[in-house]
Amino acid sequence: MTRAALFDVDGTLADTNHLHVVTWWEAFRQAGHQVRTHDIHRAIGLGSEDLIAHLLGDDRDTDEDDALSAAHSTLYGTYFDRLAALPKAGDLLRSLHSRGWRIVLATSAGGAELEALRRAIDADDVIAGVASADDVEQGKPAPDPVHQALEIAGCEPQDAVFVGDTVWDMQAGAKAGVRTVAVLAGGIPRADLVEAGAAEVYADPAELLAGLDGSVVGRMERGE
């Protein structure tokens, strides 16, 4: 049986959510928009176009979207050589791989950003593939990224677990029919993650790693 552990990256394996908040805030500011950092934080995890629509509304000037996204990418790119993995993120992926799980990333990051994130996590030797926003018609909270990750893993939904840090991750996983696990490292409250479908919630990758045997991972391995 093929089992797959699917992972969001920002805020789940890498400590980057608040960098995204600051750089999106600055991109909006430069374009003349005042957007609260709290609201930006709650939107992190959406693809760029969806994030802009979520924060500025459907009546915005959509001709500005590309410039906003490019500004964010440029600002965020200044951090590429300093991105940090969350505690034990790489060890968690390696431990799951050693237990027979196929590891696939499901992320809205791509290109140089994804390369920087993978360098920070430092576990390419056990990552089977990546489902990025470029591979699907709709990003999270639609299930498309999770479906794509399942296809890469060669795994059925009932044999997979998806680990993320936002309500968008939990909603995408639930819609795709996989078991969902949340981490608090991205800054979203536990209650919101549970309401969105999280079966279990851990502080960060290190806590999940320490509790693997008693987690949904261990129960799936035991056929429970």
Closest CA to 18 of 46, 40, 51: 40
Closest CA to 161 of 151, 150, 171: 150
Instruction: Say if CB 181 and CB 4 are below 8 A apart.
Output: no
Identify the segments of the chain with pLDDT beneath 70.
none
Same domain, 148 and 56: no
Tokens of 112: 């140089």
Same domain, 145 and 48: no
Instruction: Indicate which CATH number applies to the domain containing 72.
Output: 1.10.150
Same domain, 36 and 117: no
Q: Give the pLDDT score at 137.
A: 84
Instruction: Specify the pTM.
Output: 0.96
Residue 66: partners with Cβ closer than 8 Å, 6 or more residues away: none
Same domain, 148 and 197: yes
Q: What is the CA radius of gyration of the chain?
A: 17
Same domain, 28 and 108: no
Same domain, 10 and 63: no
Q: Give the pLDDT score at 132.
A: 84
Same domain, 90 and 183: yes
What domain count does the chain have? 2
| Residue pLDDT, tens place only, 84-102 | 999 999 999 999 999 999 9
Same domain, 70 and 11: no
Same domain, 138 and 114: yes
Of 57, 78, 99, the residue that ends a domain is 78
Same domain, 25 and 88: no
Instruction: Indicate which CATH number applies to the domain containing 107.
Output: 3.40.50.1000
Question: 26 lies in which domain range?
Answer: 17-78
Q: Which helix (H) or strand (E) holds 159?
A: none
Of 46, 78, 110, the residue that ends a domain is 78
Closest CA to 113 of 194, 14, 199: 14
Same domain, 185 and 199: yes
Same domain, 41 and 121: no
Q: Give the pLDDT score at 174.
A: 97
Of 54, 78, 102, the residue that ends a domain is 78
Q: Give the pLDDT score at 133.
A: 74
